[in-house]
């Protein structure tokens, strides 16, 4: 998390101070059964300690990535829209997978695929 925040020019402390992040941690505990203390782990170190930094639980990854990059957040929203309308939300080396009805993806799905 430390390196990712730095790459996007964000302050990791701001992420954890954010009201939305605190609410997400509480909801993850209530709905997912994951205690907030396990959602992040900080390892102190210096230039001689290779794994120093702040690490997040895998369940925190998409929430954190959405905070880092608004374009990724929009892409996620478009993908959810695609999935909820049964249109294509993924690609393969052979091209776009279509829904069983063989409909073409909605415009928002095609835009999302280009992210």
Model pLDDT, residue 99: 46
CA distances from 48 to 1, 44, 52, 94, 108 (A): 19, 11, 9, 45, 47
Per the rule left: phi > 0, alpha: psi between -120 and 50, beta: everything else, 31 is alpha
Section 39-68 average pLDDT = 85
Model pLDDT, residue 97: 47
Angle at 61 between CA 57 and CA 66, to 5 degrees: 150
pLDDT tens for each residue of 51-65: 778 888 999 999 999
pLDDT tens for each residue of 76-109: 888 887 766 655 445 544 454 444 444 545 555 5
Decide: pTM greater than 0.75. Answer: no
Model pLDDT, residue 111: 54
Angle between helices 61-68 and 19-32 (to 10 degrees): 160
């Amino acid at each position: 998390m430390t390196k990712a925040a730095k790459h996007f020019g964000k302050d990791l402390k701001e992420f954890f101070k954010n009201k939305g992040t605190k609410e997400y941690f509480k909801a993850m505990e209530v709905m997912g059964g994951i205690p907030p203390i396990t959602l992040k782990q900080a390892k102190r170190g210096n230039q001689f300690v290779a794994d120093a930094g702040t690490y997040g639980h895998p369940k925190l990854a998409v929430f954190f990535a959405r905070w880092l990059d608004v374009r990724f957040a929009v892409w996620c929203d478009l993908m959810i829209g695609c999935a909820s309308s049964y249109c294509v939300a993924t690609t393969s080396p052979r091209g776009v997978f279509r829904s069983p009805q063989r409909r073409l993806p909605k415009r928002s799905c095609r835009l999302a695929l280009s992210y």
